[in-house]
């Protein structure tokens, strides 16, 4: 029984309120609403435990252990943090300080400003409303509401959150900020606006100023010329590089061009974007789509103009009646000009087109003029499976709206083989072999209609019974139709088929 009573006495002793001591130049006793109040004036100091409160004047309610302080308020906490304000209501029982007007909380290099702060002395926790600002040696953060923990170097901001960096403003619905690591983590819709017109949207992420560890979720980067989207974007601020991963998509503004891939990055200093892994370029055209795939696609933005795309390694493209492959391609966006290098080859209906370099324009829904530069060779398969052939140094080809050949002009070292056919009985009339430096061939329904010779042509007609194997092919003939890509070869997501069970 004695032990039990002693335990009760000990518990009651532990629950006794911690008294507030005070001093001032002047002390007056009065009543407010019949309650005794001690009025302190000039050089007022209150002390409770390790907390000290200074002010110009105060009302102290001794029975309630509550004080009201006015003018030049300074609270010094046990962790050496300080709080300045103009008004204060402090409850000595709960140890909650309610500070108003020009409130400034300071700890080390961190400073928080607001007009309304409730500070919990024991927990070293503060809650501000009606707008607040956190400032340290790296960042400035503002929001309508916020909570900070002095012993954890952690702050939580919500409603109209803004982080002002060196050259950008970050806005978010809510954010946590670590004043030691300088890491800001946003939740919900987030946007970043930089001084150089770079705009970023995301659904939250982690940001560390001056580091390479910032991460964005479901993000979109937007410049004046294009947008880059991905499920994850990591930002290396030190080198100004954004790394994109998973469902990467590049949209070039003012055009119908899209580039998609598994991974990519945007180099802000050089205005270079690289996309790789199942890389695909798409151009939407009327009643059709132009697809181009490669191992890697580079987009170059010079002088605020996205003017070039580079595709290299295993390049293939597909369009109705028009497919091709090569090692590398340069695409001039504004001119819709595509240049193919390193063993390029194109298949157009029954035509095979090859050269050291091939250039053509893709305007609206049709292929425009095509230029073949050096070692040009065009092979056409006729209705009897014969190979009509045109060879020369350089060529220029034009097309009808349905992408059928309209004409071919040969410039230098012109050489051609084509078969004359009797349409009535589908038989060969003969084989025409012509050498002429410069010539032009006109086509109708993908068949040679006539030939115009410009310089001293040499021609011979070989009757059907005199045609030998050596007459059938020009030098360097190589029919490669089996290499022509189909749409599944070019568009990776067309390879993925879904089979449903018949339950």
Please state, in angstroms and rounded to a whole number, the distance separating the CA atoms of residues 170 and 198: 12
pLDDT tens digits, one per residue of 6-50: 333 333 334 456 889 999 999 999 888 778 899 999 999 999 999
Report the pLDDT value the prediction gives residue 248, as an integer from 0 to 100.
Answer: 94
pLDDT(496) > 70: no
Question: For position 501, what pLDDT does the model report?
Answer: 42
Q: Is 66 exposed, middle or buried (0-12, 13-18, 19+ CB in 10 A)?
A: middle
Q: What is the mean pLDDT of residues 118-144?
A: 93
Of the candidates 190, 187, 148, 185, the one whose C-alpha atom is nearest the C-alpha of residue 169 is 190
User: Is the pLDDT assigned to residue 100 strictly greater than 90?
Assistant: yes
Contact, 351 vs 378, CB < 8 A?
A: yes
User: From residue 16, how far is each of 3, 96, 439 by CA, in Å?
Assistant: 20, 17, 111
Residues for the chain: how many in total?
Answer: 503
| HEC string for 363-378 | ECCEEEEEEEEEEEEE
Distance CA(208)–CA(477), nearest Å, equals: 61
What's the CA gap between 251 and 230, in Å, rounded? 12
Model pLDDT, residue 214: 77
Mean pLDDT of 407-435: 90
Does 478 or 422 have the greater pLDDT score?
478
Residue 253, number of CB atoms within 10 A of its CB = 12
| pLDDT band at residue 94 using 50, 70 and 90 as cut-offs | very high
- Per the CB < 8 A criterion, the answer to whether 279 and 293 are in contact is yes
- Cα distances from 245 to residues 66, 68, 313, 415, 495, in angstroms, run 57, 57, 21, 51, 21
Hey, is 251 helix, strand or coil?
strand
pLDDT of residue 39: 94
Token reading at 443? 């086509």
CA dist list (Å): 26 to 36, 43, 65, 345: 17, 9, 20, 99
- State residue 284's pLDDT score: 80
CA distance 142 to 114: 10
Type and span of the H or E element at 275: strand 272-285
What digits encode the pLDDT tens for the residues 317-369? 998 888 999 999 998 887 888 999 999 999 988 899 999 999 998 776 678 78
β partners of residue 267: 241, 272
What mean pLDDT comes out for the span 431-448? Answer: 88
Q: How confident is the model at residue 498 (pLDDT cuts 50, 70, 90)?
A: very low
Higher pLDDT pick, 303 / 229: 229
Nearest CA among 264, 216, 209 for reference residue 238:
209
Q: What is the DSSP letter of 139?
A: -
CA distance 106 to 84: 9
Q: Hey, CA dihedral for 324, 329, 332, 333, is it positive or negative?
A: positive
179-190 burial string, b = 16+ CB within 10 Å, else e? Answer: beebbbbbbeeb
Per-residue pLDDT of 227-278, as tens digits, reads: 899 999 888 777 888 899 999 999 888 778 899 999 999 888 888 899 999 9
Using alpha carbons, list the distances in angstroms from residue 289 to 277, 320, 323.
21, 8, 12
Task: Say which residues have a Cβ less than 8 Å from residue 126's Cβ, sequence separation at least 6.
Answer: 105, 112, 117, 118, 119, 120, 147, 148, 150
pLDDT band at 503 (very low <50, low <70, confident <90, very high): very low
Supply the mean pLDDT for the chain.
87
Q: What is the pLDDT of residue 7?
A: 34
Q: What is the pLDDT of residue 17?
A: 66
CB 229 within 8 A of CB 249: yes
Give the C-alpha separation, 258 to 253, whole Å.
9
Please name which of 449, 371, 379, 352 lies closest in space to residue 410, comparing C-alpha atoms: 371
Q: What is the dihedral of CA 299, 302, 306, 311, to 10 degrees?
A: -30
> In degrees to the nearest 10, what's the CA dihedral of 122, 124, 127, 132?
150
Residue 335 or 304, more confident: 335
Q: Tokens representing 304?
A: 């605020």
Sketch out the chain's domains with CATH numbers: 19-105 (2.60.450.10), 350-503 (2.60.450)
- Residue pair 70/44 in contact (Cβ under 8 Å)? The answer is no
> pLDDT grade, residue 132 (50/70/90)?
very high
Residue 470, classed as helix, strand or coil, is: helix
Sole residue written with tokens 């170059």: 300
Give the per-residue pLDDT at 249. 93
Alpha helices in 390-490, H assignment, sequence order: 487-490
Q: Quote the pLDDT of residue 4.
A: 33
Kindly report, residue by residue over 384-395, the tens digit of the pLDDT. Answer: 889 999 999 999
pLDDT (tens digit per residue) in 206-233: 887 766 667 888 888 888 888 899 999 8
What percentage of the chain exceeds 90 in pLDDT?
55
* Under 8 Å between Cβ of 39 and 56: no
């Amino acid at each position: 029984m004695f032990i039990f009573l002693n335990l009760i006495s000990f518990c009651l002793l532990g629950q006794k309120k911690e008294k507030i001591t005070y001093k001032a130049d002047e002390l007056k006793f009065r009543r407010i609403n019949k309650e005794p109040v001690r009025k302190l004036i000039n050089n007022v100091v209150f002390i409770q435990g390790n907390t000290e409160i200074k002010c110009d004047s105060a009302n102290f309610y001794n029975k309630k252990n509550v004080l009201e302080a006015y003018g030049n308020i300074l609270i010094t906490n046990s962790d050496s943090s300080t709080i300045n304000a103009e008004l204060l209501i402090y409850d000595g029982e709960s140890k909650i300080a309610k500070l108003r007007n020009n409130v400034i909380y300071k700890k080390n290099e961190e400073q928080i400003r607001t007009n309304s702060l409730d500070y919990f002395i024991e927990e070293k926790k503060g809650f501000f409303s009606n707008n607040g600002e956190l400032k340290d040696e790296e960042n400035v953060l503002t929001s309508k509401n916020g909570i900070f923990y002095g012993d954890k170097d952690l702050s939580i901001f919500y409603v109209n959150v803004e982080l002002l960096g060196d050259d950008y403003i970050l806005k978010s619905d809510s954010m946590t900020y670590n004043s030691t690591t300088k890491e800001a983590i946003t939740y919900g819709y987030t946007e970043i606006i930089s001084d150089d017109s770079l705009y970023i949207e995301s659904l939250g992420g982690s940001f560390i100023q001056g580091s390479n560890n910032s991460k964005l979720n479901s993000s979109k980067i937007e410049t004046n010329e294009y947008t880059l989207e991905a499920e994850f974007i990591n930002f290396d601020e030190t080198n100004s590089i954004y790394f994109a991963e998973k469902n990467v998509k590049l949209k070039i503004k003012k055009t119908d061009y899209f580039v998609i891939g598994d991974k990519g990055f945007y180099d802000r200093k050089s205005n270079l974007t690289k996309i790789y892994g199942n890389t695909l370029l798409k151009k939407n055209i009327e009643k059709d789509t132009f697809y181009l795939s490669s191992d890697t696609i580079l987009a170059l933005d010079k002088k605020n103009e996205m003017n070039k795309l580079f595709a290299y390694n295993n390049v293939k493209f597909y369009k109705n009646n028009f497919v091709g492959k090569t090692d590398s391609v340069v695409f001039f966006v504004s001119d819709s000009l595509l240049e193919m290098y390193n063993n390029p080859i194109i298949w157009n209906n029954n035509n095979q087109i090859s050269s050291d370099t091939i250039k053509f324009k893709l305007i609206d829904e049709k292929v425009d003029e095509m230029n073949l530069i050096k070692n040009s060779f065009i092979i056409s398969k006729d209705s009897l499976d014969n190979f009509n052939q045109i060879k020369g140094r350089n060529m220029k080809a034009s097309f009808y709206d349905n992408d059928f050949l309209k004409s071919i002009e040969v410039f230098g070292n012109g050489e051609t083989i084509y078969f004359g056919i009797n349409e009535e009985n589908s038989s060969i009339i003969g084989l025409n072999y012509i050498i002429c430096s410069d010539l032009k061939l006109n086509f109708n329904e993908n068949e040679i209609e006539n030939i115009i010779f410009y310089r001293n042509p040499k021609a011979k007609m070989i009757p059907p019974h005199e045609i030998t194997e050596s007459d059938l092919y020009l030098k360097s003939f190589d029919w490669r139709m089996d290499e022509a890509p189909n749409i599944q070869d070019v568009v990776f997501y067309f390879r993925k088929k879904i089979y449903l069970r018949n339950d």
